[in-house]
Amino acid sequence: MTTISSKIKYKNTMGLAAMQGRGFYYPMDLAFDSSEKIYVLGRGHDGDPRGCRIVVMDMNEEYYGTFGSFGNETGQFIWPSSIAVNSKDNLFISDEATNKITVMSKEGNYISSFGEFGSDNGQFDGPNGLAFDHDDNLYVVDHRNGRVQVFDEDGKFIRKFGKPGDLSGELNLPWGITIDSKNNLYIADWGNHRIQEFSNDGDFIKSIGSYGKKDTDLIHPSDVAVDLKGNVFVTDWGNHRFKAFNQNGDLIYSTRGEATLSKWAHDFLNTNIEEKEARSKSKLVFELPGFDKDPHEESSHVEKYFWSPTSITFYKGEIIIVDSNRHRLPVYLVS
Amino acid sequence: MSNTDVLLMAHLMRRAGFGANKGELDKLVENGYDKTVDYMLDNDPNIPVSEYMIRRYQPDYGASLGSTTNGANWMYRMIWSDFPLREKVALFWHGIFATGYAKLANGKVLHDQIKMLLKHGMGNYQNLLVELSRDPAMIIWLDNCESHKGAINENYGRELLELFSMGTGNYTEEDIKEASRAFTGWTIANSDYMTLKCQRDSVWPYGRLSMHFEYNPDDHDEEEKTFLGETGNFNGEDIIKIICEQKATAKFISRHLYSFFVADEPPVPEWPYKEPNDPEAIEMLSKVYFDSGYDIKEMLRFLFKSDFFKSEDVWNKRVKSPVELVAGTLRLTKEFNRPSRDQYFTTLNAQYMGQWMMSPPSVEGWHWGTEWLDSGTLVERVNFSSSSLGNKDNIGVKEIINNIKSSLDSPIDSEKLVDASLEQLGALSTSENTRSILIDYADSNLDSSEEINDEEIAELLKFVGAMPEYQRS
């Protein structure tokens, strides 16, 4: 673990692996509504789509239920990727398999959907990252088309920017997106191993990171968040790390992860005494004998490490990370 | 290039890989047979789509909560690798060093074992057996984590000798006990917790945990042992060294290689009572085993370049295993050029045909040969290959159709159409009877006055997929 800034501290972990009900099965993203409820979007997997659902909870791990399911019907999803909430507390969910954005009420009722496969305006080839600007316009990362499309709240196309490539301002299979207090955009340029900042009009401003395993490097970043000071928080998906950079792009924090047992995890172990006992006698942190320096493999062995984190959210002084392969949400405090 | 050269190269690619289409065969024949063999053995394969790409869209292909996504991940490598010999060799060892989901209930650990076979399967056999003995899936599967100093569990010691190296009749019950004593202390980290999670199929609290080997010297039997006539304070590595020095081991591994890559041998339990079909070939392979210092790669080099492998007598005689059939067909149809949800369900076809990757039916693995075929699995096989080859929307099928069309003059001659189709599907050889059936089909379904259309060719390809020759390698 590398820590540079003492202003970022691990707080706790939320969640539990669960194919249905209270817990997650490959969570991909989350969003808050105005009442501070969290909507955690799950993907499930191709052999078991029950994880394809939205789990509603709060920061105290209070569980409010689930809605949404796998399928091709309205209000259902195949490969859901990202979720965002607008000022009216409606949920927008992208699906990179059906090429649709689905709109639902916060109670889980289907409202509408838009999008279809293609490369024309309003069409998608793998929509994933979603974000709303201050005017409630929706920004959709249209990843295989290498661009971002902007829609009004009714799903009407407004404009687009970006094109596939690896030059400044170009995008290679981008994933997550966020919008800062100045309405600037930050995009996790997954295929180019960098975070790019754009103006609201889509003009390139700056780039952070390049391919590598050093702390200052990135490998396939999945998502980005920004705080009010302009600090940039990144889920370094391919290095399986959480990293933070200041507004100049200098690294201020990097961690491999230090997840602990969540409230739900404690509940599970307290009702499964044999597992709790066997676990308590186990050494779950150890020096690893190799694994070809592959952090994916290391993370598969060491439970507290991040394993393919897919989303990062800054909310009221806290960072919440979707640690997808570990089906949990580690939380960090930012002071 | 002669037709014989193409047919021989097609034979090599079916056995050392999962087949090749006409364009690929033409290039390989130009390169030459021996050079192709050497290239496959001496170079890492090129796999154009990275693991990163797969995990982005299909995270369970890397994290394995499910029981079958690990196999689907492996199938990607089989269909995308330019020379999938490494996959073929790993599949060979997987059938011998069988471990499965039924007991492990952890797809990640099984997947890790396949990665070990991919890495070490074409290397030194002694080293491979050491890696196998340290493999967490094997340690749980054959209970070596339950084998302790003063209280041995003989499962691993027994199967190491019976199924993994020498075969029955070449050792005693006492040798099994002594080998088991030597492997005490060979366990996995946190074995109580890990085995409990396996027993309960527990993904809680935070998904699957990979496992790793741990040597516990306090639990290792340090007393003297006598194994295959040698005496000493043996540890597991010593036992494997002695095993690898045995003629029985050379013969056992040679016979396995021959059976998988050349021609079906009787089932392994019959080997003590039945001589090999080609004793001379087994003798030659055994010699290479010793001359090369137990090097599997050199045994394969010798095998692929041997007259007994090149002989037309062994062409198209083996029934493709379900995995071979599915992978070979998908390489032709190219229907998955990027991660796709459909790939998962297509891979399951191998399971429906009787071969669930990473879950063989027993410690003996699968029985190969004609045992793959029964009335149920044959229907699955024919339906799968016909529907894939007959889908003109598949990229590879489109290419095949275009190549067939461009190779023929109008008006279309049914015989030439059939021969071109068989050629495009990888120099597929058929009996005269099959060929005449295909020609009759073409005669009765083509309108020779009209220009041939894609649909008609796709229908013929679908019919070829149902032919018995397509089911063979």
B289 and B410 belong to one structural domain: no
Boundaries of domain holding B147 = 86-314
Answer whether residue B352 is part of any domain.
no
**Given a cut of 70, is residue A159 above it in pLDDT?**
yes
The C-alpha atoms of residue A169 and residue A98 are separated, in whole angstroms, by: 27
Cβ B65–A272 below 8 Å, yes or no? no
* pLDDT at residue A204, as a whole number: 97
SS3 A235: strand
Number of domains in chain A: 1
* pLDDT at residue A4, as a whole number: 63
Taking the mean position of all CA atoms in its chain, how far away is CA B156?
Answer: 23
* pLDDT at residue A290, as a whole number: 67
Give me the mean pLDDT over the A84-91 stretch. 98
Q: Alpha helices, DSSP H only, in B353-431? A: 375-389, 395-407, 414-424
For B281, the token pair is 């070939």
B302 and B408 belong to one structural domain: no
Higher-scoring residue by pLDDT: B443, A15 = A15
The answer, for B290 touching chain A at a CB cutoff of 8 Å, is no
**Given a cut of 60, is residue B442 above it in pLDDT?**
yes
Percentage of chain B surpassing pLDDT 90?
93
Kindly report the number of other CB atoms within 10 A of residue B132's CB atom.
Answer: 24
Cβ B204–A268 below 8 Å, yes or no? yes
Number of domains in chain B: 2
**Given a cut of 80, is residue A293 above it in pLDDT?**
no
Higher-scoring residue by pLDDT: B182, B452 = B182
Cβ A268–B67 below 8 Å, yes or no? no
Answer whether residue B259 is part of any domain.
yes
Confidence band (pLDDT; 50, 70, 90) for A2? low
Cβ A17–B205 below 8 Å, yes or no? yes
* pLDDT at residue A208, as a whole number: 98
The C-alpha atoms of residue B315 and residue B11 are separated, in whole angstroms, by: 6
Q: Of B314, B333, B365, which closes a domain? A: B314
Cβ A45–B67 below 8 Å, yes or no? no
Cβ B341–A78 below 8 Å, yes or no? yes
Higher-scoring residue by pLDDT: A64, B445 = A64
Confidence band (pLDDT; 50, 70, 90) for A20? very high
The answer, for B69 touching chain A at a CB cutoff of 8 Å, is yes
Taking the mean position of all CA atoms in its chain, how far away is CA B352?
Answer: 17
B137 and B232 belong to one structural domain: yes
Per the omega criterion (within 30 degrees of 0), is the bond before B205 cis?
yes
- Nearest Cβ partner for A282 among B66, B67, B190: B190
Q: Determine contact, residues A312/A321, Cβ cutoff 8 Å.
A: yes
Task: Specify the pairing of strand A223-226 against strand A241-245.
Answer: unpaired
The answer, for A46 touching chain B at a CB cutoff of 8 Å, is yes
Interface-testing mutation among A43, A46, A61, with chain B (most B C-beta atoms within 10 A): A46
Residues of chain B contacting A220 with CB distance shorter than 8 Å: 52, 56
Please report the sign of the dihedral spanned by the C-alpha atoms of residue A72, residue A74, residue A75, residue A79: positive
Give me the mean pLDDT over the A23-52 stretch. 96
Distance from CA of B212 to the nearest CA of A (A): 8
Return the CATH number at A190. 2.120.10.30
Distances from the Cα of A158 to the Cαs of A150, A153, A201, in angstroms? 5, 10, 11
Answer whether residue B343 is part of any domain.
no
Greatest CA separation for chain A: 58
**Given a cut of 90, is residue B66 above it in pLDDT?**
no
* pLDDT at residue B448, as a whole number: 65
* pLDDT at residue A286, as a whole number: 79
B265 and B150 belong to one structural domain: yes
Per the omega criterion (within 30 degrees of 0), is the bond before B84 cis?
no
Give me the mean pLDDT over the A160-182 stretch. 97
Contacts of B329 (CB under 8 A, 6+ apart): B384, B385, B388, B389, B465
ipTM: 0.96
The answer, for B190 touching chain A at a CB cutoff of 8 Å, is yes
For A309, the token pair is 């984190």
Cβ A43–B59 below 8 Å, yes or no? yes
Confidence band (pLDDT; 50, 70, 90) for B252? very high
Nearest to B65 by CA among B226, B171, B206: B206
* pLDDT at residue A288, as a whole number: 72
**Given a cut of 90, is residue A5 above it in pLDDT?**
no
**Given a cut of 80, is residue A188 above it in pLDDT?**
yes
The C-alpha atoms of residue A159 and residue A185 are separated, in whole angstroms, by: 14
DSSP H/E element including B176: helix B173-182
Give me the mean pLDDT over the A114-139 stretch. 97
Query: How open is the CA angle A37-A246-A239, to the nearest 5 degrees?
Result: 75
SS3 A278: helix
The C-alpha atoms of residue B400 and residue B394 are separated, in whole angstroms, by: 10
The answer, for B124 touching chain A at a CB cutoff of 8 Å, is no
In A, minimum Cα distance to B111 occurs at: A297
Q: Of B298, B314, B330, which closes a domain? A: B314
Interface-testing mutation among A263, A300, A328, with chain B (most B C-beta atoms within 10 A): A300
pLDDT digits (tens, 9 = 90+) for B129-144: 999 999 999 999 999 9
The C-alpha atoms of residue A217 and residue A209 are separated, in whole angstroms, by: 5
Give me the mean pLDDT over the B282-303 stretch. 98
Boundaries of domain holding A216 = 2-334
Give me the mean pLDDT over the B445-469 stretch. 88
Cβ B56–A190 below 8 Å, yes or no? yes
Percentage of chain A surpassing pLDDT 90?
94
* pLDDT at residue A3, as a whole number: 62
**Given a cut of 70, is residue B254 above it in pLDDT?**
yes
* pLDDT at residue B26, as a whole number: 96
The C-alpha atoms of residue A330 and residue A235 are separated, in whole angstroms, by: 12
Distance from CA of B396 to the nearest CA of A (A): 22
pLDDT digits (tens, 9 = 90+) for B13-60: 999 999 999 999 999 999 999 999 999 999 999 999 999 999 999 999
Answer whether residue B423 is part of any domain.
yes
Cβ B66–A324 below 8 Å, yes or no? no
In B, minimum Cα distance to A298 occurs at: B210
Give DSSP secondary structure letters for B305-355. HSHHHH-GGGTT-SBPPHHHHHHHHHHHH---SS--HHHHHHHHHHHHTT-
Cβ B206–A288 below 8 Å, yes or no? no
Kindly report the number of other CB atoms within 10 A of residue A228's CB atom.
Answer: 10
Answer whether residue B75 is part of any domain.
no
